[in-house]
Amino acid sequence: MGKALAAWLLVAAAMAAPATNPRAVVQGAVTRVVSVLQDDFVAAHLDRPRTEMRRAEIRRVARELFDFDEMARRTLTRHWNGRTPEERAEFVQLFTDLLERAYIARVEPFAGERIIYTGEAVDGPYATVRSRILTRRPTEIAMDYRLMLRDGRWRAYDVLVDGVSFVATFRTEFERIIQQSSYAGLIDKLRKRTT
């Protein structure tokens, strides 16, 4: 899951301005994250430490790029419909916090990696953008971004790293926790992870 974590943060740190096509959204996001990770200029002109500035920017952009509500719904699957609106809101917040905290530290080592885009497939309101990260080791990490058009904006709802779905990985983990204890047990674990 380490590659998935790193890949998510690479995208999450990106600026998600409305774009005419999914590839432009992803490519703009990746360009922005690289800029954020390499830009010392902003941090030098503010009193806040550089690391804190980067992480704040990554969080801000992640909330613009990713559809955390959709990711949470797809991760919780059949357990989503049985939740009250308040429970759903809490789950989305805990899940978002978990993602931000867990993956923020993983994106920083990806500054300077080369990314190439190998294709885009659009099927109505859904799209997949394929790319590869060429690391310095040298290895390649295949990354597919799944996006959905909602309210005139393409937003990512999943990332596949070397064919492994980010959402499916958490879905499996959360389902196991719920089966072993309960939904309340999952929420308790998420609360503990984000504190």
**For every residue of the chain, which 3-state class applies, written as one string?**
CHHHHHHHHHHHCCCCCCCCCHHHHHHHHHHHHHHHHHCCHHHHCCCCCHHHHHHHHHHHHHHHHECHHHHHHHHHHHHCCCCCHHHHHHHHHHHHHHHHHHHHHHHHHHCCCEEEEEEEEEECCEEEEEEEEECCCCCEEEEEEEEEEECCEEEEEEEEECCEEHHHHHHHHHHHHHHHCCHHHHHHHHHHHCC
Q: Residue 90 has what pLDDT?
A: 96
pTM score, two decimals? 0.79
pLDDT beyond 70 at 3: no
* Mean pLDDT, rounded, for 58-75: 87
Per-residue confidence band for 109, with pLDDT thresholds at 50, 70 and 90: low
pLDDT at 150 over 50: yes
Set out the domains of the chain in order of their start, with CATH numbers: 2-193 (3.10.450.710)
Please tell me the predicted confidence (pLDDT) of residue 14. 44
Is residue 122 scored above 90 in pLDDT?
A: yes
